[in-house]
Amino acid sequence: MGRKTKVALTVGAAGVAAWAASKVVAKPQPRPRKEALEFKDPVVLSHRGGMKSAPEHTMAAFSSSAELGVHGFAVDIRLTKDEEIVLFHDETVDRTTDFSGRVSDYTIDELKKADAGYMFEDAEGNFPFRGKGEQIINLRELLTAYPHMLIAINLKDSPDTYEGSLMPSKLWRLLEETGSEERVIVMSTFDEQTDRFNLYAQNKVATGAGNDEVKKAYASYSSRFGHLYNPRADLFCIPEKLGLFPMNTESFVSFLSNLNVSVYYNNVTERDSFEKLLNAGAAGFITDEPALAMEVIQRNS
171, 198 Cβ separation under 8 angstroms: no
Collect contacts of 195-200 with beta carbons under 8 A, ≥24 apart.
Answer: 195/232, 196/159, 196/168, 197/155, 197/168, 197/171, 197/172, 199/168, 200/168, 200/169, 200/172, 200/173
Fold classification of 31-300 is TIM Barrel (3.20.20)
Best CA proximity match to 18, nearest among 224, 219, 231: 224
Residue-level pLDDT, tens digit, the chain, 301 residues: 555 554 444 444 444 444 444 454 456 688 999 999 999 999 999 999 977 889 999 999 999 999 999 999 999 999 999 999 999 999 999 999 999 999 999 999 999 999 999 999 998 999 999 999 999 999 999 999 999 999 999 999 999 999 999 999 999 999 999 999 999 999 999 999 999 999 999 999 999 999 999 999 999 999 988 889 999 999 999 999 988 889 999 999 999 999 999 999 998 989 999 999 999 999 999 999 999 999 999 988 7
82, 106 Cβ separation under 8 angstroms: no
Best CA proximity match to 62, nearest among 122, 139, 174: 139
Distance CA 245, CA 263 (A): 16
pTM of the predicted model as reported, rounded to 2 decimal places: 0.90
Q: Which residues contact 214 (CB under 8 A, 6 or more apart)?
A: 236, 238, 242
| Residue 64 confidence (pLDDT) | 93
224, 21 Cβ separation under 8 angstroms: no
| Residue 27 confidence (pLDDT) | 65
Determine how β-strand 206-207 pairs with β-strand 241-242.
unpaired
| Residue 301 confidence (pLDDT) | 74
Q: Where are the domains of the chain?
A: 31-300
| Residue 24 confidence (pLDDT) | 45
The dihedral through the CA atoms of 78, 83, 85, 87 has a sign that is: negative
